[in-house]
Every structure is written in C-alpha cells, then in structure tokens.
Amino acid sequence: MRLHRVQALGPNGLTEPRDVDLPVDHADVDATGLVLSPGWCDLHAHLREPGFPEKETLATGAAAAAAGGFTQVVAMANTQPVTDTADRLRANLARARDLPVRVMFVGALTEGLEGRRPTDAVALQAAGAVALSDDGRHALDLQTLVGALQHASATGLPVLIHPQDESLGSQPEAELAAVEQAVAALRQVPRARLHLQHVSLAAALPMIAKAKRDGLALTAEVTPHHLWLTEDALRRWGPLAKVNPPLRTEADVAALRGALIDGTIDIVATDHAPHQAAAKRDAETAAPGISGFETAAGMLLTLRLPWPVLYRACVALPRAILGIPLSPDWILIDPAETWAVEPDRFLSRGRNTPMTGTRLSGRVRITICHDRVVHHAEVPVG
C-alpha cells in the first residue's frame, strides 16, 4: 500500500507531505491532507470479558478500539472473576490472541480489588501482566499501598492508581486525598513506578507537579471526557454523563488542558467503560462510565492540541510507562473531517456517551495492525 503525499506524525509534530510505502495488501491511497501516525496506545480500558458480555466482549471492544485508532489497549482487572491470579491472566491472554488489535492486561494490585492482601506480582508478571491496578476500586490504606508498591517494585511493573478514596465518595476531597496518599506511598518506596489514572481536578495538579520536581517516578493521565465536559453535562444527559471521577467545573477542564500541554499530565487514556442501556437508565442506580474508544481521537483532534503533545500523550508515553516498544502499527487520520457522534453506529456494545450529536473535527480513517487493515471508515460524500 502506497500513501501519496501523507504527513507523518512524530515527536516533533508533522513532516512535510511525502509518499510512504506500508507493507500492507491494500489499494494505494491519495493521502493529501491526511496524517500517518503510529497506532495509538490506550493505557486504560474496560473490556468486560470475562463476566459482562451484555456490556462488551474482547471482540467488540477490540473492534471499537481499532475504529478509534488504538492498536494497543490495556484492559483493567475488574472483570468477573477479577484478574488477580496468574492463571486468570493467562486465560485472558489466550482469549485475546486473535483480536484485530493488541490487547494487554493488568493484574489486580490486591486480591479481589479489596485493598487488603497484595496479589502475587511476580507470578502475574510472569503470566504476562503489563501493570498492576485495582482500577474501579480504591480501598487501600496507606500502609497497604506501601506494601503493594514494595511487591510491585520487585517486578518493575507500573502501578496504576484509581485515585478516589472510597470512604469519601466522589467528592473532590476523595480524589485529593487519594492523590496525596499515592504520592506519600511513592515517597516511601521510591523504586516503585506509580501512575495516576483519570486525574480530574485542578487542585490535584500542583501535588503531581511537585512530586515530579522531587524526582519521583510518577506519571498521570487525563480522559478525553474530562478535557471536554463539565458537570453541566449531567443536567443535560443525566445517567449518561455519570462517570468516576465525576465531571467537574470549567476551571478544572481548563487546568487539565493546560497540564496536558505543559507535561504535568503525561498521557490521555480513554477509561473506555461500556454499559448496556439498562445499566444507564436510572439516575440513582446508573453504573458510572462512558464508552470512549470511538470518540477519543475526534475529541482530542477537535481541541487542536499541538501535534507533539498528541504524539507524546497517545503514542510515546503510554508505551514508555509500560516499558514496551512502539509496535509497527499505523493509523491514518483525517484532521479535517467533521462528523457527528452517533452511538448507534459504534462497534462497541456500549452506546453510553454524553457526546451524542456533538460535531467533531478529525477522524481516524484507516487502522493497520499486524500488517492488516483492521478498520477502514467510509469516506463521506461531498
């Protein structure tokens, strides 16, 4: 496959247009105005298998990831059963073998995500875990977290923390307390590597910046929805805008955008959290989460983030955090295509998004993984 006049995305932004040959069996493409990027890597997704096929399966999740431009995806451990043993990790990897994109798995940090006994980090790593995380829960006290970090540091695996102290609910204090606790734990185990998931508050950013200045191995992520939406979305969308951590204020959104650009926040991760319609109906009992794979790239491109920031946040640093090399997978982006979000057309089983009808500019046109075209969007007429 030859791409004519394509601009390539790298650490310094976009190259001048040139012709590029890819080892893929596919017709040539006039890529004038299009951007060729290494496949994006999503450090944070819920693929719901095993246990919740009504929400997503590995197959539907991987198809949605491909449509969103993610060729590498890390699946969280809050499945049924929880991925907290080497056998379960190996079973997940066996199920994921023939998917269109590369799906990796975290092992739970504590047994059953209960925040009490650390899992066997060495065995999980040997089985193929790429990180450790209790994501979805945060029931650890400081002492337990320090112990879990010590186990993890023996393996070199990063620990991904869902910083939301369960005992404090979803108030801002819950996130600030958990970020403070995580940094305090890392100070006690400076050989560990700690990553803060879905940071949502401006007030958390100075703590993260200070820990980084102090030389701690701390990284942080933000989701596309926390870069876009405020608590106003709850009034309009009700349960569809219910997510953990909650959508915050305009000032938080502005601060998060600035922190992503200045590097206080290292990466963007989707926290793709698909649910069936019934789980999102009732305001009181609705499950938290947003189906994120298929809107992420459009949301980020619409923000017109500098290209080197997109490369760092979606290509380079997610892999650096995992300690894995860039895979030879590619996506072709049309930064000018405008489109409206239509969840009925998602490949994910989760159509739960508060972005319905929003016009985005920028879309993933083609995704190439394992030297195959695994996604090819129809080109709009006119």
Beta carbon of residue 139, minimum distance to Zn ion (angstroms, whole number)? 13
Nearer to Zn ion, 84 or 135 (CB): 135
Residue 195 CB, nearest approach to Zn ion (Å):
12
> What's the min distance (Å) between Cβ of 76 and Zn ion?
8
Query: Which residue, 162 or 257, has its beta carbon nearer to Zn ion?
Result: 162
Q: Between 7 and 352, whose beta carbon lies closer to Zn ion?
A: 352
User: For residues 22 and 182, which CB has a smaller minimum distance to Zn ion in the complex?
Assistant: 182
Compare residues 242 and 375 and give the one whose CB is closer to Zn ion.
Answer: 242
Whole-number minimum distance, CB 372 to Zn ion, in Å?
32
Give the residue nearest to Zn ion (CB). Answer: 162
Distance of alpha carbon 40 from its chain centroid, rounded? 10
Of 159 and 333, which has the nearer Cβ to Zn ion? 159
Taking the complex as a whole, the smallest distance from the CB of residue 376 to Zn ion amounts, in Å, to 32
Q: Active site residue: 134, 135, 271, 334, which one?
A: 271
Shortest distance, CB of residue 198 to Zn ion, whole angstroms? 6
CA atoms of 179 and 161, how far apart (whole Å): 9
Whether 282 is catalytic: no
Residues that bind Zn ion (CB under 5 A): 135, 162
Residue 212 to residue 192: CA distance in whole angstroms: 14
Q: Which residue has the tokens 């819950």?
A: 174
* Residues belonging to the active site: 271
